[in-house]
A and B are shown apart, each in its own frame.
Chain A
Amino acid sequence: MGRRVTRQEFLLMSAGAGFVLAGCGGGPEENPAVQQQAGAGSGKQYNGPKVKLSFWNGFTGGDGDYMLRMVKQFSSQEKNIDVTMNTIQWPDYYQKVPAAVSSGEGPDVGIMHIDTVATNAARQVILPLDDVANALNLKKSDFFPVVWDAGIYNGHRYGIPLDVHPYALFYNKDVMEKGGLDPDKPPQTKDEYMAALDQLKDKGIQGFWVPSVAPDVTWLFETLLYQNGGELYNDAVTEATWNSDAGVDALTWMVDLIKEGYSPKNVGALAEQVAFQNNKNAFYWSGIWNILTFRDAGVNFGAGPLPQIGSEKGAWANSHNFVIMNKQDQDPNKIAASKFFISWVSRNSAEWAKAGQVPARNSVRESSAFQSLEPQSKIAQELPYVRFPPSVPGIDAVVPAALDPATNEAVLLKKDPEAALDEAASQAKQILKENRQKYQA
């Protein structure tokens, strides 16, 4: 993971940051982000003058209300920091933030998914936060290593993890009962899972709607790939390895579920979710963020760790990370206030867990406040085996461009799984090569 920043270097950087920030009027282009740490303030408290912070994120679902509540609580508690929150749909967010930041109009603080951190670091949209982590005394041991390490790019930390949101098994209790299954005993092994699907099938219920539309179809595939012991990329991240036996088996399993009638054909965008809500679908593998949606819809459901279909446990996951934007003419007071805000939310992330997330921070996850949260605390058991893509710039674009069409066509029974994955892998190789040239990594 590159070289550690020594204590002296860190002190020098922190001291220098103020000058760099005050001195450079130029855009991010003339400010190689690596030279400037976010600097200013310890993050433990804020003693500066009154500042306004702008905080952008993409929490457009029910989760947005929880974040807003936390922001309001923070702003009323801290008289000198006024945080305004702006919510933009994630796809638009990732287009708007870089443009806004480069024109100096962007937010001070933002949230980014862990697989986009490297890209935004390389594009100098966000600032390194090594000193924030140091000042806040955040260590690898405070988090799960996989979450903590994924926020590092080029030897520097860019993201402070807020939560992890893994794939989980949602089971519709009404449908399970209709199929004569025990609604309190969701299947946990491949045998149990297939037995349950068989039993549902006998009652005329297609129990596991396999999605066909990206990203859902690919996230399910990635989960099964990990469970079969596969990986998305080789260690050097020069090639996609999803066309390994592990990958072919994973996709074939999905396709066979459809061929054998456990799932309808041609499941449209989020139709599997609609079917689950309408008591037509028994098992829904999806992100933990669905908890609020199903609760609001009044579905009689449970959620817990995914069944293990392959040789090991595995689950697709992503993670929301706090980032500080690389704005021109950055005000050191705002940076200090931003750090304090991040550390406050991080410490109080048990509240955030109520929005259906698993806090990234061990202390919060182990707290009784979180342990009593169902089903979040059960799903948190998956954390030791979640995986993220490697921290390489441009990696977030590879799967949508190459893998998504392949999983889609295979599940629509238009292409043989192996052929589809092979083709996707050779396309990914070209994109990875282009990315290396572009970001000169």
Chain B
Amino acid sequence: MATQNVRRTEVQTSTRKILGVGGRKPTDASLLTPYLFMAPYLVLFGVFILVPGFYGIWISLHNWDYLLPGKPWVGLQNYVDLFTPGSVTFEPFWQSMDATGKFTLYSVPLLVVVPLLVALVLNQEFRGRNFFRTVYFAPYVLGVAVIGILWRYLLDANVGLVNYYLGQLGLPDNIPWTNELPWAWVALVGPTVWWTLGFNTVIYLAGLQDIDPALYDAAKVDGANRWRRFLHVTLPGLRPILLFVITVTILLSANVFGQPYIITNGDPGDETRSAIMYIAEEGLKNFNMGSAAAMSYVLALFLAVISVANFALFRYRGD
């Protein structure tokens, strides 16, 4: 406690210095130092996030094709279209948002829970632990094109290995994994979990190793069994890690593009075409960048709301 208080005072003093509130008058150098340290990042952030972010809003207010001389101002029309049933973009856009939502709904719980279980196992002491850690992480190093084409052929309804082996086991061998619902969702979520669970596992492992072993010992002394120790020591200890994993997994799932693009081609019809797939099509293939930009902001708004809700849900108690 005592050390903490001392540290807090130090921090407060230096904050005052920086802000120039009270205390001695700060020198120019001390004023600039923190900003200089942040500058390299801020420059990149500004050039690649901030400026395009605002430029995109400007684009979304026009019918924008970067190569056409006329980029007529349309005000909020691109946004209005997105909320007007019967417009060119309404149906496909919300269909794609729906597909993205479903993918997120199906994949996030699995990507949060399965890696946690894997991490708990890999956190035990046993022979060959490092080998298994590598095995679970390995698919993550592959590109989406590689895993996409791999699974597209494995899951093909008529010529795929998965159906072949199901048939050998006496199970139905004609499941249309890649072009019929609900199978297409299995074909998208399954490979995604296999592909990315290693990443979340590594994050969980780091979190698990950060939990003070003394807490487990204390719990044991108090007579807590394995399940109670998990519930009352491990989970609370992983709280910040869980927040990170859930937030990042939701964002990554909501940005899904490569898997439906390669494995299902958005089929059947447009049922598995994700929002990013449709936005890319509209903006980069049909060169309707204004409406594509508008869609991006609507999607971003959705994700911002979800992220804020997520943070609110996981906020430290008493903080």
- Taking CB atoms, residues of chain A closer than 8 Å to B174 are 264-266
CB pairs A–B below 8 angstroms (23 shown): A32-B69, A95-B285, A98-B67, A99-B66, A102-B67, A123-B65, A125-B67, A264-B157, A266-B180, A268-B156, A269-B178, A394-B286, A405-B269, A406-B269, A408-B269, A409-B268, A412-B179, A412-B180, A412-B268, A415-B269, A431-B88, A434-B88, A434-B288
- Taking CB atoms, residues of chain B closer than 8 Å to A8 are none
A96 to chain B, nearest CB (A): 10
A36 to chain B, nearest CB (A): 14
- Taking CB atoms, residues of chain A closer than 8 Å to B267 are 212-213, 408, 412
Encode contact with B along A200-243: 1 for CB under 8 Å, 0 otherwise. Answer: 00000000010011100000000000000000000000000000
Contact B284 A268 (CB under 8 A): no
B69 touches which one: A29, A269, A397 (CB < 8 A)? A29
Consensus secondary structure, chain B interface: loop
Given A123-B287, A267-B158, A28-B67 contact (CB < 8 Å):
yes
A-B pairs with CB below 8 Å: how many?
106
Q: Which of these binds chain B: A165-173, A270-278, A316-324?
A: A270-278
- Taking CB atoms, residues of chain B closer than 8 Å to A54 are none
Given A102-B67, A125-B67, A271-B157 contact (CB < 8 Å):
yes
How far, in whole Å, are A275 and B158 apart by their CA atoms in the complex?
8
- Taking CB atoms, residues of chain B closer than 8 Å to A427 are 88
- Taking CB atoms, residues of chain B closer than 8 Å to A94 are 285
A211 to chain B, nearest CB (A): 11
- Taking CB atoms, residues of chain B closer than 8 Å to A437 are 63
How far, in whole Å, are A413 and B180 apart by their CA atoms in the complex?
10
User: Residue on B with the closest CB to A125?
Assistant: B67
- Taking CB atoms, residues of chain A closer than 8 Å to B268 are 408-409, 412, 414
A77 within 8 A of B: no
Give the contacts of B278-300 with A (CB-CB under 8 A).
Answer: 281, 284-288
B123 within 8 A of A: no
Contact B269 A214 (CB under 8 A): no
A4 within 8 A of B: no
B247 within 8 A of A: no
Given A123-B287, A214-B265, A409-B268, A438-B63 contact (CB < 8 Å):
yes
Contact A268 B286 (CB under 8 A): no
Give the contacts of A97-127 with B (CB-CB under 8 A).
Answer: 98-99, 102, 122-125
Q: Given A213-B265, A268-B157, output 9 extra A-B contacts at Cβ < 8 Å.
A: A29-B67, A125-B67, A268-B155, A268-B156, A268-B178, A269-B265, A409-B269, A431-B88, A438-B68
Contact A405 B158 (CB under 8 A): no
- Taking CB atoms, residues of chain A closer than 8 Å to B65 are 123, 438
How far, in whole Å, are A95 and B67 apart by their CA atoms in the complex?
12
Contact B284 A124 (CB under 8 A): no
- Taking CB atoms, residues of chain B closer than 8 Å to A28 are 67
A11 within 8 A of B: no
How far, in whole Å, are A408 and B179 apart by their CA atoms in the complex?
9
Contact B159 A405 (CB under 8 A): no
- Taking CB atoms, residues of chain A closer than 8 Å to B67 are 28-29, 98, 102, 123-125
Q: Which 10 A-B pairs have the closest CB atoms?
A: A266-B176, A123-B67, A268-B156, A409-B269, A405-B269, A397-B286, A266-B157, A430-B88, A274-B159, A412-B268
Encode contact with A along B178-197: 1 for CB under 8 Å, 0 otherwise. Answer: 11100000000000000000
A360 to chain B, nearest CB (A): 26
B70 within 8 A of A: yes
How far, in whole Å, are A441 and B105 apart by their CA atoms in the complex?
44
B270 within 8 A of A: yes
